[in-house]
Structure 1
Amino acid sequence: MNAEKRHQIFSRLRDQNPNPTTELAYKTPFELLIAVILSAQATDVGVNKATAKLYPIANTPEAILALGLEGLKSYIKTIGLFNSKAENVIKTCRILIEEHNGEVPQTREALEKLPGVGRKTANVVLNTAFGQPTMAVDTHIYRVSNRTRIAPGKTVLEVENKLMRFVPKEFLQDAHHWLILHGRYVCTARKPRCGACIIEDLCEFKDKTEYGD
């Protein structure tokens, strides 16, 4: 795929959704960090339901530590893998207090040292909470990047590196949100809605469908 075509793709995605953001509900960097940790192998809707009850009671590292492990579990037990996630959240809160004055760090290195935080989670926090141009490649972005040929790669890291290189700078800040939403609602895994896609004519996917709304 050439640079001109990529520019057109992101221009259209921006025109359709000028101010994209995560579908996770949050008000502070800490709330976002915890929500992203909880969202692994879970839906944003499910996480939001749990945090809607948790955050009014505890939305700081100190308050969550005060709940204790079992107390935290009672709020997030509807989320998959809640036992291990609760342990990671408690450990993360302790590290934030002991090493970062209770604040969420703004570097990938520091974020990835937190339990339950991998490269993708760090990228989400850096981009969404702190406005850094990062690319959090999840299954949706991986699929869309390969299917459209915007940034084909055999690994998540390869796709991430290509996107960082190929996405025009003016679109880099919001690109990962556009790609996630496109993969979640249009370029779906089993039955892509090619007939309803605003970039269908630019996409290089060979097996396009007639499926629309």
Structure 2
Amino acid sequence: MNDAKREAIFARLKEANPAPTTELNFSSPFELLVAVTLSAQATDVGVNKATAKLFPVANTPEAILELGEEGLKEYIKTIGLYNSKATNIIKACRMLVDKHDSQVPQTRKELEALPGVGRKTANVILNTAFDQPTMAVDTHIYRVANRTGIAPGKNVREVEDKLMKRVPKAYLKDAHHWLILHGRYTCLARKPRCGSCVIEDLCEYKEKAVD
């Protein structure tokens, strides 16, 4: 895929959705950190239901530490892997209090040092909370990047690196939101909705679905 076609793809995605953002509900970097940690192998809808009850009670590291691990589990037990997630969140809160003045750090190295925070989670926080141009490659972005030809790669990191290099700079900050939403609602895994896709004529997928 050439640069002109990539430019056209992101121009259309922007026109269709000028201000994309995460579908996780949050009102602070810390709330986003908790929500993204909970979202692994869970739906945003399920996470939002849990945090709608949790955050009014505890939305700071100190408040969650006060709840304790068992108390936290009561709020997140509807979410998959909640036991290990509760453990990681409590440990992360302790680190935030002890090492970061209860503030979510703004560097990848410091974020990835927090329990339960991997590269993808760090990328989401850096981008969505701190407006840094990062690419949090999940299954949706991996599929869309490969299927369309925007940035094909054999693994998540390869796709991330190619997207960072090939997405036009003007679109880089919002690109991962556009790609996630495109994969979630249009470029579906089993049967992409090619007939209602705003970039169908630019996409290089050879087996386009007929609606």
Same fold (TM over 0.5): yes
Q: Answer yes or no: is 1:22 the counterpart of 2:22.
A: yes
Residue number in structure 2 paired with 1:110? 110
CA distance in 1, matches of 2:114, 2:43: 22
1:21 Cα offset (Å): 0.2
- CA shift, 1:141, in A, is 0.2
Find the counterpart in structure 1 of residue 137 from structure 2.
137
Query: 1:54 — aligned with what?
Result: 54
Aligned counterparts of 1:60 and 1:206: Cα–Cα separation in 2: 48
**Cα distance, 1:131 vs structure 2:** 0.2
SS at match of 1:102: coil
Deviation at 1:65, TM superposition (A): 0.2
- Whole-angstrom distance in 1 between the partners of 2:70 and 2:165: 44
Q: Distance in 2 between matches of 1:177 and 1:160?
A: 13
Cα offset, 1:125, TM superposition:
0.1
Secondary structure in structure 1 of the residue aligned to 2:202: coil
Other-structure match for 1:31: 31
**Offset, 1:122:** 0.1
State the 1:25 CA deviation: 0.1
Listed as ranges, the gaps of 5+ residues in structure 1 are none
Name the amino acid aligned to 1:6.
R
TM-score by length of 1: 0.99
In the superposition, the TM-score normalised over structure 2's length comes to 1.00
CA shift, 1:95, in A, is: 0.2
- What is the Cα deviation at residue 113 of structure 1? 0.6
Q: Distance in 2 between matches of 1:9 and 1:179?
A: 11
**Amino acid paired to 2:75:** Y
Partner of 1:76: 76
Distance across 2 between alignment mates of 1:115 and 1:188 = 32
Alpha-carbon separation, structure 2, partners of 1:59 and 1:164? 32
Instruction: Report the CA distance between 1:128 and its aligned residue.
Output: 0.1
CA RMSD, aligned part only?
A: 0.3
Calculate percent identity across the aligned residue pairs: 74
Tell me if 1:65 matches 2:65: yes
Aligned-partner Cα distance in 1 for 2:36–2:9: 27
